[in-house]
Amino acid sequence: MIRQSIKIQLMTIMGKKTYMFVVLLIFGLIFTNFLINVFTFRGTDVVDMYDPMKLLTISHWSSLSSLFTQFYPLLVVLASGFSLFHDKETEMITYWFARVGRRAYYIGNIVASFIAAFLLFTVPFLIEVVLNCISFPLNANGDPSGISSYLGDIGQVARNYLLFPLYYQNTFLYIVVSIFMLGLVSGILAVFTNAFAFFPLKFKILLFLPVYVLLFCLSNVRKLINLDIYTNYSYYISAYDSSFKSGIAFAWFLILVSLFSLLIYYKKGKGDYFK
């Protein structure tokens, strides 16, 4: 029943107009960035060409990176953050309870919301990686910062990359893992948003608040307690960002948000689990 619940809810989420709208927005952003790069570097000699992976939309050096990170919370919520609220509002949740059971429905909702957001924020960017590999010389290793690509000269700038050890070992694997990390964060935030649908909300638009408040608080932690590390979420979801960060602190942040979301699901749905 759980597998069936996940499958049906995943197809339902991915078939919604809001999900398809976000898909089109992301692909539109990616292809716009791609065309900008094509026209900017057309005819450029390979020795003057930047590393193709540093031209990606999620790269800190992309001209559209700030636009993407600015609207990222909105896109995450639109993607799959309304699924539980919609089922409760339309009373479809009663149908799901009868078809797959209460426990299977809630587990399915968590998994389906996560997978839908994960796929949305990974597949398009992986396609962009393929496009850049086809369109730009892979032996180009220039860096937009102007520093050398060799480890001896890469300096403190690159050492502040969130996954610097991986970047040092394999730059291509670094960007792929960075994209999967973006998908992971997106999935966690989608489930976090859905968890608040358990609370009485008169308007669906209020579901945008939890993620915005969460990321706003995270971004201002550094100012409140005078930390040495930067806590702005955009620095952690952008590849090649050179701000001083803490991967361990960010991992704990994601773990705590996940546990908090699951706790809400468990507490609020506890009565249903045992009916």
Q: Could you tell me the residue ranges of all domains in the chain?
A: 2-273
Q: Which of 123-127, 161-165, 209-213 has the lowest average pLDDT?
A: 161-165
- What is the rounded CA–CA span in Å between residue 252 and residue 249? 5
Q: What distance in Å separates the CA atoms of residue 45 and residue 61, rounded to the nearest whole number? A: 20
Q: What is this structure's pTM? A: 0.90
Q: With cut-offs at 50, 70 and 90, classify the pLDDT of residue 196.
A: very high
Cα-based torsion angle of the residue sequence 254, 154, 175, 214 in order, rounded to the nearest 10 degrees: 20
Cβ atoms of residues 245 and 221 within 8 Å: no
Average pLDDT, the chain: 86
Q: What share of the chain is helix, strand, coil (3-state, %, to 5)?
A: 75, 0, 25
Partnered with residue 239 across adjacent β-strands are: 59
Tell me, rounded to whole angstroms, the distance of Cα 25 from its chain centroid.
14
Q: What is the pLDDT of residues 81-93, one digit of tens each?
A: 888 888 888 878 8
Q: What is the pLDDT of residues 143-166, one digit of tens each?
A: 777 665 554 455 566 778 888 888
CA-based nearest residue to 166, from 174, 156, 158: 174
Q: Minimum mean pLDDT among 22-36, 107-121, 219-233: which range?
A: 219-233
* Token duo for residue 135: 């369109």
More confident residue, 158 or 122: 122
Q: Which two tokens stand for residue 49?
A: 């060409």
For the chain, the first-to-last Cα distance in angstroms comes to 16
Take residue 69 and report the two structure tokens written for it: 């990170």
Q: What are the structure tokens assigned to 266, written together?
A: 């468990």
Q: For position 147, what pLDDT does the model report? A: 64
pLDDT, position 19: 94
Measure the CA–CA gap between 42 and 110, rounded to whole angstroms. 45
Cross-strand pairs, 142: 50
pLDDT tens figures, 20-44: 999 999 999 999 999 999 998 887 7
- Confidence (pLDDT) at 109: 92
